[in-house]
């Protein structure tokens, strides 16, 4: 295309001409590494013996990059990198701030621990069907969702992790998996299509999809465009992804059907991506609309947490009970979104860290209980304390964490949320959070009483099962759970910084558009 005269065109007005500093490549590493490893693993799909170790290496690299990225952001503020060197808003920006990077870090930790556990849980057939490639591609989608700075790109990453999650969900093709996966797939696809509709309408109103650009233009567009309708649309779409009442019924229909390690991954990571998207769009992009909708969000939050935990009380299958506990934890996170003040949002973000780790650990715990006791049903599972005291210890820590009791991690975010609700004069929301903690104690405490404390009548000949790997994975996850419970201040600092970053978007905007560069 050597057209005469084109050499003279000055590109400095349209493109980033300076080379990207090599440290800034960290922004794309948490996405690029899982994609590369996923592609490589896909090529060596039949080499089932090396799959797990390659995936674990990839996830360790992802975790390290996420850690470095978060440290860099805490030190120097948000990092931005724009694809194709087109100046934002024309190029797609990857913009990592404290919120996105910290959630990506915890998600990659959960994925790594699940990958450890999967070496025992996923057999040759599961590997041959591509468990590890799906795992890597799902983590690429999750990382991309947390780090992208473009709304349409966020939609694409949602679809990336969604289609990988389909693959993980139906691994094994059992009847119940097909049943659960059908409902999960259809309802989630409708949810993301709603998200795309909202994105289309937002593009019609703003003429841009770059989040920083939307945030700085919102005040001038507000006069002419129905932004509250848009905010409601996003609330519906992301609420569906986050499993908020009344659009949460896909979750209890499907989360107990896959392999337990897949359930742990889903319960730990996926719903939090929906909560993250809600925080990003409603708090950072459309704050006055969020304030207008805060009553609706508050009722949704209270209904989600109370009805979720009520569902957990009614279940005999531990995995199904945990599905409902996931829902009620989403409700607690939405409480901070309803309040919208700094402490409430920090509580939500802290709770998201806690919930990712604890929910994944609870599912893995259920898997180990099944391995040792031979059942997921509370009617038959018993006698674990007498034979395996270590599993009782882990169960106790995780149940305390999930219920929000000391010394585990659930306590402090709930304290922050309750205090924020009382400060905002929303005592009923504080009451809902506390009541949820009480009912969670009942629901999971009953698991402890029946499965761990109850004497076993007859000696069940359990198949040979070595819980060692399970203990190691739970031990890894118990470290952050106890650390966040006993010494919460560093995590509170991160959560407050993350909340400050979305409440006042000027730093975020200033990073994407330095010195008000006007394209």
Q: Is the CB of 14 or the CB of 32 nearer to another protein?
A: 14
Q: What is the largest CA-CA distance in the chain?
A: 90
Among 197, 341, 375, 497, binds another protein (CB under 8 A): 197
Other CB atoms closer than 10 Å to residue 213's CB: what's the count? 24
Nearest CA to 480 out of 142, 105, 143, 135 is that of 105
At 161 the three-state DSSP class reads helix
* Residue 51 CA, distance from chain mean position: 25
Residue 190 engages another protein in binding (rule: CB under 8 A) = yes
- Residues 6 or more apart from 166 whose CB is under 8 A from it? 181, 184, 185
Residue 10 engages another protein in binding (rule: CB under 8 A) = yes
Q: Which stretch binds another protein (CB under 8 A): 8-16, 341-349, 398-406, 428-436?
A: 8-16
- Per-residue x/- marks for another protein, 102-141, CB under 8 A? ----------------------------------------
Nearest CA to 156 out of 92, 217, 248, 106 is that of 92
Judge whether 333 and 355 are in contact, CB under 8 Å: yes
Residue 456 engages another protein in binding (rule: CB under 8 A) = no
Nearest CA to 386 out of 444, 459, 471, 467 is that of 459
Among 56, 450, 478, 481, binds another protein (CB under 8 A): 450
- Per-residue x/- marks for another protein, 373-402, CB under 8 A? -----xx-----------------------
Task: Give the nearest distance from C-beta 314 to another protein in angstroms.
Answer: 7
Judge whether 417 and 404 are in contact, CB under 8 Å: no
Residue 14 engages another protein in binding (rule: CB under 8 A) = yes
Task: Give the nearest distance from C-beta 293 to another protein in angstroms.
Answer: 22
Q: Is 20 left (phi over 0), alpha (psi -120 to 50) or beta?
A: beta
**Cis? peptide before 480, omega within 30° of 0:** no
**Cis? peptide before 407, omega within 30° of 0:** yes
Residue 464 engages another protein in binding (rule: CB under 8 A) = no
Task: Give the nearest distance from C-beta 489 to another protein in angstroms.
Answer: 39
Residue 308 engages another protein in binding (rule: CB under 8 A) = no
Angle of CA points 17, 19, 25, to nearest 5° = 135
Task: Give the nearest distance from C-beta 126 to another protein in angstroms.
Answer: 17
Among 47, 179, 423, 504, binds another protein (CB under 8 A): 179
Task: Give the nearest distance from C-beta 44 to another protein in angstroms.
Answer: 23
Judge whether 267 and 360 are in contact, CB under 8 Å: yes
User: Token pair 């069907």 is at which residue?
Assistant: 129
Among 86, 152, 299, 471, binds another protein (CB under 8 A): 152
Residues that bind another protein (CB under 8 A): 5-6, 9-10, 13-14, 152, 156, 159, 163, 166, 170, 173, 175-183, 185-186, 189-190, 193, 196-197, 199-201, 203-205, 252-254, 256-257, 314-317, 320, 378-379, 446, 450, 454-455
């Amino acid at each position: 295309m050597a057209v005469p005269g084109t050499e003279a065109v000055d590109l400095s007005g349209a493109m980033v001409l300076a080379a990207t500093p090599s440290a800034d490549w960290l922004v794309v590493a948490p996405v690029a590494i899982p994609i590369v490893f996923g592609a490589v693993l896909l090529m060596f799909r039949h080499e089932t013996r090396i799959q797990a170790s390659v995936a674990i290496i990839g996830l360790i690299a992802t975790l390290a990059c996420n850690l470095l990225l978060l440290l860099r952001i805490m030190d120097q503020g948000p990092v931005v990198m724009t694809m194709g060197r087109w100046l934002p808003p024309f190029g797609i920006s990857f913009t990592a701030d404290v919120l996105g990077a910290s959630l990506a870090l915890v998600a990659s930790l959960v994925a790594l621990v699940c990958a450890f556990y999967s070496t025992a849980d996923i057999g040759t057939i599961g590997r041959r069907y591509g468990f590890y490639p799906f795992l890597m591609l799902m983590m690429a989608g999750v990382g991309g969702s947390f780090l992208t700075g473009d709304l349409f790109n966020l939609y694409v990453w949602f679809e990336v992790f969604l289609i990988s999650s389909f693959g993980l969900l139906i691994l094994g093709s059992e009847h119940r998996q097909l049943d659960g996966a059908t409902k999960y797939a259809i309802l989630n696809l409708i949810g993301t299509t709603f998200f795309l509709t909202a994105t289309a309408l937002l593009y019609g109103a703003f003429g841009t999809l770059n989040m920083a650009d939307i945030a700085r233009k919102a005040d001038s567009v507000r006069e002419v465009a129905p932004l509250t309708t848009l905010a409601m649309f996003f609330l519906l779409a992301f609420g569906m992804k986050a499993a908020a009442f009344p659009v949460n019924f896909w979750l209890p229909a499907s989360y107990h059907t896959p392999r337990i390690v897949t359930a742990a991954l889903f319960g730990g990571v996926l719903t939090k991506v929906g909560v993250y998207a809600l925080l990003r769009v409603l708090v950072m992009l459309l704050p006055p609309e969020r304030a207008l909708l805060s009553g609706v969000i508050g009722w949704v939050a209270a209904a989600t947490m109370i009805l979720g935990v009520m569902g957990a009380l009614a279940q005999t299958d531990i995995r199904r009970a945990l599905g409902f506990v996931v829902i009620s934890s989403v409700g607690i996170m939405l409480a901070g979104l309803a309040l919208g003040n700094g402490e409430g949002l920090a509580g939500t973000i802290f709770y998201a860290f806690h919930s990712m780790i604890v929910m994944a650990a609870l599912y893995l715990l259920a898997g180990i209980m099944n391995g040792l006791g031979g059942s997921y049903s509370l009617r038959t599972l018993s006698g674990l304390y007498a034979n395996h005291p270590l599993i009782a210890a882990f169960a106790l820590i995780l149940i305390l964490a999930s219920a929000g009791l000391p010394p585990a991690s659930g306590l402090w975010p709930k304290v922050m949320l309750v205090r924020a609700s009382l400060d905002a004069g929303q005592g009923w929301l504080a009451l809902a959070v506390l009541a949820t903690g009480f009912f969670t104690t009942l629901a999971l405490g009953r698991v402890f009483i029946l499965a761990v404390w109850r004497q076993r009548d007859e000696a069940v000949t359990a198949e040979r099962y070595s819980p060692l790997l399970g203990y190691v994975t739970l031990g890894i996850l118990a470290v952050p759970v106890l650390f966040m419970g006993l010494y919460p201040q560093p995590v509170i600092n991160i959560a407050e910084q993350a909340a400050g970053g979305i409440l006042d978007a000027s730093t975020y905007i200033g990073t994407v558009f330095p010195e008000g560069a006007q394209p």
